[in-house]
A and B are shown apart, each in its own frame.
Chain A
């Protein structure tokens, strides 16, 4: 490493220590003040380390990135172990293990078939060895088969049948804005967000929007003539969708950014209350 790098690292370590001490002093009246001060300081420095990437890739960002990978992997492993293995598997396999982990055990829950996923799981771990790596194909096949079988029915129901049936909506409005004739329609004509015109236009946009959107994705016929015009309308609907999704995503990211900035200025620097 260069001399400059050493100086920067030493500076950051010094700042970290200073921040910790200052925080510990300000929290000296609280229980676990020193430990809490350490946690706030480390969270703040890790936040800054990630933001340092905005300048360019640097060792502080790499440090935070590598730490994130390691901690996240262990976090999900522990959560999965305690919730699924201890909470779901042990009570079905062994009274002794259930008692050890203080999980409610009922003899009626005991099921020998639950050894199958355990054996398949151990076979999956064989992937880590060179000689028996092929054994991991069996549990993988089980995972693929389960996913395929479950998704076949699930997507057929929720992403196809339900979506298609929801698209067929009354084009002349529905309750509480059901069609009551031209007279009633024109006498109540306004552009209020909860009015009948908005409701009717929404139904038209959804019905024709979905059909045109699907036409755009249909590539077995040339997009020309009436079909092409419908496909063009489908592109417009999709563009509005992408724009809306983009705006929505940006707002989500901005709110996260506001959260982190608030943490830095309120919890760490204590500049705002």
Chain B
């Protein structure tokens, strides 16, 4: 029962959505299921939030390693949640956007979340630089191609690339680094991306079929 019902739900929902493409009266089914999906996803967000709280409260209660930082997570989570759900300091009425300028939610986003998110991602620039130092060695033909392509793209996206080859006449403008970078993005890069996309597409299609037909059951977990 605990295995069969979920498998049946997956089969019915998946098959209905595929069949709806071919039967016009069911055409709206895709929109309806998309909204249903979004609604369940919101509950999934709440599940994630609840789980986050549970994990950190447990860590706090058992005084595990670095338990003090769990307080930071819990406080940050609670303050942002209260600010957002109750629209604290929101200059408009209840119908105004949750992130309206002037609200506490907006201020926390701008002074905490955005700086943290942008800095976290910018940190990768240093690690990428260090990784490229190790990876960018022209050991063989393939590595050399990767090195040259990356180098041209990097140069082509900076004013330095334009400056280096600005003397190249218009009749051979393809050899100007920014144009060459653009050509690499639009031709060989496109070809490679397309080959990968076709592979991914075929993989997703076969995996979808496996899920709908109940061959793939790992998402159900154990037998309990």
Contacts and interface: CB of A to CB of B under 8 A. Distances in A.
Contacts of B186: 202
B95 interface: yes
Nearest to B77: A70
Chain A at the B interface: mostly helix, strand, loop or mixed?
helix
Given A88-B39, A137-B220, A138-B6, A153 B18 contact: yes
9 contacts: A43-B114, A70-B72, A117-B36, A117-B39, A156-B205, A163-B198, A192-B171, A213-B195, A250-B128
Interface of B: 2, 5-7, 9-18, 21, 30, 32-52, 54, 66, 69-70, 72-81, 83-85, 93-95, 97-99, 105, 107-126, 128-129, 132, 141-143, 145-154, 157, 170-176, 179, 182-202, 204-205, 207-209, 211-212, 219-221, 224
A254 interface: yes
Contacts, number: 434
Contacts of A118: 39
Interface residues of A, number: 127
B172 A124 contact: no
A265 interface: no
Nearest to B44: A124
B2 A251 contact: no
A206 B198 CA distance: 14
B208 A142 contact: no
Give me the 7 closest cross-chain CB pairs, A-B, nearest first: A213-B195, A209-B191, A241-B192, A78-B84, A149-B17, A243-B149, A159-B201
B98 A253 contact: no
A155 interface: yes
Most buried by B among A73, A216, A235: A73
B49 A247 contact: no
Nearest to B120: A50
Nearest to B71: A66
